[in-house]
Amino acid sequence: MAAELAGLDMATMVPDAASGSGPLPVVRPGVLRRLRRDRLAVAGAVLVGVFVLAAVFAPLLARHDPIEVAALDRLLPPSWDHPFGTDHLGRDTFSRIVFGARWSLGTAVVATTLVMVVGVVVGTVSGFYGGRLDAVIMRVVDVLLAFPRLVLYLAIVGTLGAGIENLFLALVIASWAEYARIVRGLVVSLKQRPFVRASLAVGARDLRLMVRHILPNVVAPVVVLASLQTGQTILALAALGFFGLGVEPPTPEWGTMINESRLFLQTEPGLMLWPGLAISLTVIGFNLLGDGLRDVLDPRLGRSKHDKS
């Protein structure tokens, strides 16, 4: 919760990835085997897996329509037919949580992918060409990283209006900078490496150099960042949903569900607890998985975040 609340991002405190020495991180064989030995990472993978399966098989798991209003079934307690009870409109909470995984998780994955592509492309170009362009881009990155995320999200969505396109736009604008900074640092140091200089010397074109020789070497840190960022994105989407600025009701998105249940806090606290639990468990899953991946793939990246041993 800290990051989204304080608008802080611990990753911004991570020393520049390019400043260390030693071999650059690459995806090595045996990653999965080593990841399996990290019990916390396995727990994270299981949590994420459960919610991914819930999203994929939502129509099979849910016994009720997540949107259909049933006036006679309002605020029912948990039962065999309604494992988590029903909400103020008689909708089955379990079905809404399960379908909500599609919205919350699906949107976060799409958004994280968009952010990643923008950040990697800008970071690669910036680091590869250097010069004035690089200086300008890095200034913009500095500005964005120094700024509380939540304020950016609220300003963008608050100005342009709620809706899925504007959510994506806000997430991309507010988050690409982090990828760009890390990728740019890696590219700058990769440029000095013999294999890149060699292919430059034999006249490889820029695009080929970037795609064939540089991109494969930035995959590992980007994957780690993406895993940790997916959790942050879920939190951001949930926060906007909580403010009533996320996807429109009656869509079963977890943050929006919490917003809808605010009126019933005193009488029906359960309505708030289920989506709250779903958000928390999913984000814990991504954070554990991301930490584990970082330890396995890239011990140097962001050590200051979660541990130091």
* Residue of the chain from 258, 289, 293, 296 that contacts another protein (CB under 8 A): 258
Smallest gap from Cβ 152 to another protein, in A, equals 8
Q: Alpha-carbon dihedral of residues 245, 239, 260, 99, nearest 10 degrees?
A: 100
Distance, in Å, from the CA atom of 137 to the CA atom of 123, rounded to the nearest integer, reads 9
Residue 2 in the binding site for another protein (CB under 8 A): yes
Smallest gap from Cβ 103 to another protein, in A, equals 16
> Binding marks (x or -) toward another protein, 76..115, rule CB under 8 A?
----------------------------------------
- Say how many C-beta atoms besides its own lie within 10 A of residue 28's C-beta: 10
Residue 303 in the binding site for another protein (CB under 8 A): yes
- Restricting to residues 150-169, name those near another protein by CB under 8 A: 150-152, 154-156, 158-161
Residue 250, preceding bond cis, omega within 30 degrees?
yes
Residue 138 in the binding site for another protein (CB under 8 A): yes
**Cβ-based nearer residue to another protein, 122 or 279:** 279
Residue 198 in the binding site for another protein (CB under 8 A): no
**Cβ-based nearer residue to another protein, 161 or 216:** 161
Residue in 104, 89, 65 with CA at minimum distance from that of residue 235: 104
**208 burial type by CB count under 10 A (0-12 exposed, 13-18 middle, 19+ buried):** exposed
* Residue of the chain from 31, 40, 121, 215 that contacts another protein (CB under 8 A): 40
- Say how many C-beta atoms besides its own lie within 10 A of residue 288's C-beta: 24
**94 burial type by CB count under 10 A (0-12 exposed, 13-18 middle, 19+ buried):** buried
Among the listed ranges 84-92, 95-103, 111-119, 297-305, the one in contact with another protein (CB under 8 A) is 297-305
Distance, in Å, from the CA atom of 75 to the CA atom of 85, rounded to the nearest integer, reads 7
* Residue of the chain from 72, 146, 201, 207 that contacts another protein (CB under 8 A): 146
* Residue of the chain from 218, 235, 257, 296 that contacts another protein (CB under 8 A): 235
Chain centroid to CA 166: how far? Answer: 17
Residue 266 in the binding site for another protein (CB under 8 A): yes
Distance, in Å, from the CA atom of 257 to the CA atom of 246, rounded to the nearest integer, reads 10
Is the distance from CB of 152 to CB of 173 less than 8 angstroms? yes
Distance, in Å, from the CA atom of 66 to the CA atom of 241, rounded to the nearest integer, reads 17
- Restricting to residues 164-193, name those near another protein by CB under 8 A: none
AA letter at 20: G
Residue 263 in the binding site for another protein (CB under 8 A): no
Residue 276 in the binding site for another protein (CB under 8 A): yes
Distance, in Å, from the CA atom of 173 to the CA atom of 24, rounded to the nearest integer, reads 28
**Cβ-based nearer residue to another protein, 218 or 257:** 257
Please give the residue ranges that form the binding site for another protein (CB under 8 A): 1-8, 10, 12-13, 40, 138-140, 142-143, 145-148, 150-152, 154-156, 158-161, 231, 235, 238-239, 242-245, 255, 258, 265-266, 269, 272-273, 276, 279-280, 283-284, 287-288, 291, 303-309
